[in-house]
Structure formats: C-alpha cells, structure tokens
Amino acid sequence: MSIHFFTEDIKYQVKHKSILKKWLKEAIKAHHYLLQELNVILCSDDYLYEMNIKYLDHDTLTDVITFDNSDKEQTVEGDIFISLDRIKENAQNLNIPFEKELHRVIIHGTLHLLGFKDKTSQDQEIMRKIEDFWLEKLVLD
C-alpha cells in the first residue's frame, strides 16, 4: 500500500509529498478501491512522446499516460507518467498555478485507475467534475 513519486530525464522536487499521498489514498478509498502501489513519474515532453508512440501508437504530445498494472478488480496498482512541459504550458494557457494543474493531472491519472474514462464529451464532463471535487479536498497548509 504505497505511493511513490519519481522523475525521468528531468529534475523536479514534488512539494507536499506526504499530503499528496494522503489525498490520493483518500480518493482511492472513497471510490471503494484498495491501494496496492501507485507510481507517479514526472518527465519531459520528449520522454512521454516516445512512450505514447511505443506503447499506445499515438503520434502526439500528451500531459499524462496511465498504465493499469492491477490484476484484481477494485485494486489500484499502476503508473502515471506526467509531462511537466505539458503541465507548464497547460497552466499558462489556463492562467492557473503550475502546482494546481499538476495536482489536477495527478488525480486525473488516478481516476483512470479507478475506472473512469474520458473518451467521450460526457465522460470528460463527469471526470472533470470528479477532478474538481478532489481538488477542492486538497489542503496543502
């Protein structure tokens, strides 16, 4: 039952790790899932782009790719890869703080591991509401 933060090909120190871990554990438990292991890997656009081509056959930049490694239902075991380059650009475009956008993408990846989808506009709307709900619950003080 652990959550880890890693970096690949970049230097970045995640702030408030213990608070973020508690927050993610709360979200996982509230959706009636059991946490096994969750890895959040922060990387560059180039790194995530290569993964997108190699594993998903998508020739595009993206902010997040989630891999579900669980072999049991209602269990979270997976990897969330996040491009900090995309997070920075998204935050600037949305005129929000970098950290808030990072937290949104972290919970977005976690929601994928909880079975939520975002392929249709209806699914995207549902997912955004749940992201907003969890972002409101995140208190960093």
Residues annotated in the binding site for Zn(2+), as ranges?
A: 108, 112, 118
Please enumerate, by residue number, every residue annotated as part of a binding site.
Answer: 108, 112, 118
- Residue closest to 46 by CA, chosen among 10, 14, 80, 11: 10
Provide the token pair at 40.
């959040």
Distances (CA, A) of 117 to 8, 15, 21, 62: 26, 28, 22, 16
H or E segment to which residue 78 belongs: strand 75-83
Single-letter residue type at 133: F
Residue pointed to by tokens 């909880």: 114
